[in-house]
Amino acid sequence: GAGVSQSPSNKVTEKGKDVELRCDPISGHTALYWYRQRLGQGLEFLIYFQGNSAPDKSGLPSDRFSAERTGESVSTLTIQRTQQEDSAVYLCASKRTSGAETQYFGPGTRLLVL
Amino acid sequence: GENVEQHPSTLSVQEGDSAVIKCTYSDSASNYFPWYKQELGKRPQLIIDIRSNVGEKKDQRIAVTLNKTAKHFSLHITETQPEDSAVYFCAANSGGSNYKLTFGKGTLLTVNP
């Protein structure tokens, strides 16, 4: 079946612009994550959605970052007034339920802020 | 919160040799420890995981060991092959959470033919 997909695959933007990144999880997966991966670094947790529960936003680095998810479908991560330090790969992952363990990752969006 | 340290950051081995990557964690409530492999330009994929009720788990050439007392766990790859070359990430669930993982910074493994 189809895996997690993300768009765009690459995004180049100017400092100060807003960007919106999209994630399509595996159909039927109730849990969805966003991570940030800076060059040569590990995966940094940003936000977690589980069904219709309130999301865990504890990893969002500033109020310029926000994310939405409607039900168990598509999620968007928005970065307002982008800064150069926002340059990174943004990875989305989904898993079947809150109790399931395996996270399935998307290919990521590579964001470059000039 | 949880802190996961991973060593070494880079590892180069000859094909056929073994490779060992080590991680330590800080939160004694952590009870789930997955390992992800990320090939260059590709997405991370789970390769093996272990829960705290066992000390070792094997899957063909890959094994993971866990020492809860010392709060460390290791990935062992035997008979390495060039296709094992990738970045490997360890992780631990934060505070025993059933969803939140803290990842190590990764180990770049290069297997030389």
For residue range A56-91, list pLDDT tens digits in order: 999 999 999 999 998 788 999 999 999 999 999 999
Nearest residue to B63 via CA among B33, B93, B104, B94? B33
A41 to chain B: which residues are within 8 Å by CB?
105-106
Contact B34 A107 (CB under 8 A): no
Mean per-residue pLDDT over chain B, rounded: 94
The amino acid that residue B48 corresponds to is: I
Nearest residue to B36 via CA among B47, B52, B28? B47
pLDDT at A1: 58
d(CA A76, CA A14): 20
Using one digit for the tens of pLDDT, what is the confidence trace for A5-20? 999 999 999 999 999 9
Strand partners, B74: B22, B65
Residue pair B67/B3 in contact by the 8 Å Cβ criterion: no
Query: In this structure, is the dihedral angle defined by the CA atoms of residues A56, A60, A66 and A70, taken in order, positive or negative?
Result: negative
Contact B105 A41 (CB under 8 A): yes
Say if residue B98's pLDDT is above 80.
no
**Hey, what are B13's tokens?**
């081995």
Chain B contact for A105, CB < 8 A?
yes
B42 to chain A: which residues are within 8 Å by CB?
107
Average pLDDT (B9-37) is: 96
Chain B contact for A101, CB < 8 A?
yes
A45 to chain B: which residues are within 8 Å by CB?
100-102
Confidence grade of residue A42 (pLDDT, cut at 50, 70, 90): confident
Using one digit for the tens of pLDDT, what is the confidence trace for B35-54? 999 999 899 999 999 998 88
- The pair phi, psi for residue B96, each rounded to 5°, is 70, 15
